[in-house]
Structure 1
């Protein structure tokens, strides 16, 4: 019974640490997320968005014309989605790892990959409606016709005008993104973590896992995130373009993922699939460092508190 309780405690510790990590991450980086989304959907043709030269110009232009409200458009669903996503991700990920660890001493890279992929797919199904609303709010400008007044108004309006199926626009590239991005990031994180531990153990038989510090966690988080971004960024562009608000006559700008791929390749080439990547790297690489610093330290504090109670 005590063993079962320890397992449940461990899973919820991972979920709590993940949720707090996600909340800390999104709080400081949201303006870059707005810039990234606007770059992603700007295809150089018909658009209700202004044209930006680069990331600093976009930040300055949005701040000047829309103020703090523009820089933090979609902040509530971003916080909600990030907190839920990280909490569920770490929970599902740790649960999958625990299941795969049965009758094994340690997990192989393939099983780390499977654990992360499983967690990513489950999270995507749970959170796609939140990310769709966030994208819609981030793309609003003062000139928007019939703008959403906030998260709840957007949700109700989308359901009323487009139906519940519209909440799952971008689900297919979102699934590819979640599964591959998370799998690459967490596999890279786990393998790099092993390498760091081996380096710190300096050939001794005693594990130096507890000797990893915040600088180590920051380095691990940033490196694994960068690898995942470079590998999966086109999925983000496809998802954002699918999640745009329909035209005033109700027709979508893109019909499906294949339509996005064809049109983007035809008019913008390979570069079109990497629009906004500078803002994305600036946002997510430092954010990943903070995420894993918070996650690992919160997890260590929760473990320490549990051991003291026993």
Structure 2
């Protein structure tokens, strides 16, 4: 009775909430899950971006993920490992809120088209379609935030004022070893955002959109269907009469872990190309009159430079961190949905 008298109590929400209330819950739960997972995974994401961004360099700055983590820790400290964190926190909130809300709404659209009741469980192909659509919608929100994040994550290894007096013949490896920790002032996310708008216009914020669209569209389908398939399989082992709503925490975590690994491995080349495009001007400036990098052009250059290996630079550490990260996301999301949904 006390819960029912409190208008702000989650318990007072009807068991069959309206579409608007469900959307609010999807946004809230998705945002919380995304923020928590991003704090855990950011150092590994930073490593991935730095490894991806060096594919077109004549001399690699880092010999692999461990070398990158060690050098970042040595030269930049804990702050360096979390460089650019505000942008990914915002991205995680946008990404997960948009993904879960769009995924739920698109499932309802599919049910209406097929004249199915709203409580009907969709098939895996239908869930894949809803997941792909959710990813496509989310990609347009993500690209500007990912652009700022990538630029911040390569700030400490980008050419700058400290290297102005160094001879052009100096190799990248020699430059890295001679400079040591870089102390030049670095722009924050707002400064980077305004700089891109000032030099490239609003359109410049969506540099790499093709890569983000491919990654999120294909990844959304893989992420949600893998989670649903593994989760449903685990649930049915406990009883054939149980449904997706009967999932328990360890099943959410395990199915989410599988989904994270498959998503990132299957869509990794698109993400590599996107990251390289977004850091090209910072690491290899070509001048204001040079043509802007394109998705296909960057893909061809990366393949020519290092073959398939270049397209998968940083893949190992990305898949490794995505497994616990995705487990955290679904553990939190399903837990909140079960408690307050």
TM-score, structure 1 length as denominator? 0.89
| 1:7, distance to aligned residue in structure 2 (A) | 3.0
* Greater Cα radius of gyration, structure 1 or 2: 2
Residues of 2 paired with 1:182 and 1:143: CA distance? 32
- Aligned-pair distance for 1:248? 6.2
2:86 aligns to what? 76
Match of 1:207 among 242, 260, 273: 242
Matched, 1:67 2:105: no
Asked whether the equivalents of residues 49 and 150 of structure 2 are also in contact (C-alpha less than 8 Å), the reply is yes
Whether the 8 Å CA contact 1:66–1:142 is kept in 2: the answer is no
Q: What secondary structure is seen at the aligned counterpart in 2 of 1:207?
A: coil
CA distance in structure 2 between the aligned counterparts of 1:142 and 1:273, rounded to whole angstroms? 20
Residue 261 of structure 2 corresponds to 226
Task: Find the partner of 1:280 among 309, 318, 333.
Answer: 318
SS in structure 2 at match of 1:278: helix
Task: Give the match for residue 271 of structure 1.
Answer: 309
Alignment partner of 1:137 is 2:152: yes
Alignment partner, residue 20 of structure 2: 8
How far has the Cα of 1:138 moved from its partner?
0.4
Q: Are the counterparts in 2 of residues 32 and 279 from structure 1 also a CA contact under 8 Å?
A: yes
- How far has the Cα of 1:74 moved from its partner? 1.0
TM-score by length of 2: 0.81
* Displacement over 3 Å in runs of 4+: 2-5, 208-211, 250-254
Deviations 1:4-60 (A, max 9, x none): 85332222212211111000100121111110000011125347xx62222222111
CA distance 1:251–1:229, shift in 2 (3 Å): farther
Unpaired segments ≥5 residues, structure 2:
1-13, 162-184
Return the alpha-carbon distance in structure 2 between the equivalents of residues 269 and 161 of structure 1: 33
The aligned residue for residue 35 of structure 2 is 23
Partner SS, residue 104 of structure 2: helix
- Alpha-carbon distance in 1 for matches of 2:290, 2:220: 29
SS at match of 2:221: helix
3-state SS of 2:242 partner:
coil
Q: 1:239 aligns with which of 274, 277, 294?
A: 274
Equivalent residue number for residue 108 of structure 2: 98
Residue 100 of structure 2 corresponds to residue 85 of structure 1: no
CA contact (8 A) 1:242 1:253 kept: no
Listed as ranges, the matches of 1:181-220 within 5 Å are 181-201=219-239, 203=240, 206-207=241-242, 209=244, 211-220=246-255
Task: Find out whether 1:170 has 2:208 as its counterpart.
Answer: yes
Determine if the alignment matches structure 1 residue 155 to structure 2 residue 193.
Answer: yes
Deviation at 1:3, TM superposition (A): 9.4
Residue 240 of structure 1 and its aligned partner are, at CA, apart by 0.4
Aligned length: 297
Q: Distance in 2 between matches of 1:32 and 1:5?
A: 38
CA displacement 1:143-184 (0-9 Å, x = unmatched)? 642774201000111111222221111001110100001111
Aligned to 1:308: none
Does the 8 Å contact 2:102/2:134 carry over to 1? yes
Where in structure 1 are there 5+ consecutive unaligned residues?
304-310
Aligned counterpart, 2:55: 43
**Could you say if the C-alpha distance between residues 281 and 252 of structure 1 is closer, same or farther in structure 2, counting changes exceeding 3 Å?**
farther
| 8 A contact 1:177–1:235 mirrored in 2 | yes
1:259-290 C-alpha deviation (Å, 9 max, x unpaired):
11211121201111100012201221110000
> Structure 1 residue 209: deviation in Å?
4.5
| Residues 142/42 of structure 1: CA separation in 2 closer, same or farther (3 Å cut) | closer
State the 1:236 CA deviation: 0.5
In 2, the alpha carbon distance for the partners of 1:142 and 1:209 equals 46
The whole-number CA distance in structure 2 between the counterparts of 1:195 and 1:253 is 50
